[in-house]
């Protein structure tokens, strides 16, 4: 029985940080945004008027919303498919045994992963520079 308790504690300790971070950074802001959507509020004043689901009713009656939603979904789908297809093609090409310049191309495709960290580090170094 103690082995089962130990395993349960281990699983709890592994899952707890992820659940806590998910709650802090995803669940609470989502609930807060939904709560704010129930008010008529400009964002800069303290005057809030509770309107309930009227904001959603107005949103669903707008043709611009449907067009924007359609464009967003289309963009997400197309970008995902094209990016995934190109990644598969490049991965297949770079895993071949006999390719001239294989190491060079692997480095070129890996540089953006490293570069983003370097750019973020440089930005925060400039922000926190006391001079």
pLDDT for 42-86, tens place per residue?
888 888 999 999 999 999 999 999 999 999 999 999 999 999 999
- Asked if 76 contacts 82 with a C-beta cutoff of 8 angstroms, the reply is no
C-alpha separations of 13 from 1, 47, 122 in Å: 18, 44, 35
pTM greater than the 0.75 cutoff: no
pLDDT by residue (tens digit) across 95-119? 877 778 888 888 888 888 888 888 8
Domain ranges of the chain: 1-58, 62-131
Which residues of the chain form beta strands (DSSP E)?
39-40, 49-50
pLDDT score for 70: 95
pLDDT score for 22: 97
115/125 Cα distance (integer angstroms) = 15
């Amino acid at each position: 029985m103690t082995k089962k308790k130990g395993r349960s504690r281990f699983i709890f300790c592994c899952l707890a940080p992820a659940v806590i971070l998910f709650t802090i950074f995803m669940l609470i802001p989502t609930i807060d945004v939904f709560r704010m959507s129930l008010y008529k509020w400009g964002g800069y004043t303290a005057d809030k008027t509770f309107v309930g689901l009227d904001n959603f009713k107005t949103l669903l009656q707008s043709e611009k919303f449907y067009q924007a939603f359609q464009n967003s979904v289309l963009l997400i789908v197309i970008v995902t498919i094209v990016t995934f297809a190109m990644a598969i093609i490049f991965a297949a090409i770079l895993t071949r045994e006999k390719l001239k310049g294989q190491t060079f191309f692997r480095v070129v495709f890996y540089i953006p992963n490293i570069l983003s960290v370097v750019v973020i580090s440089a930005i925060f170094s400039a922000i926190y520079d006391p001079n």
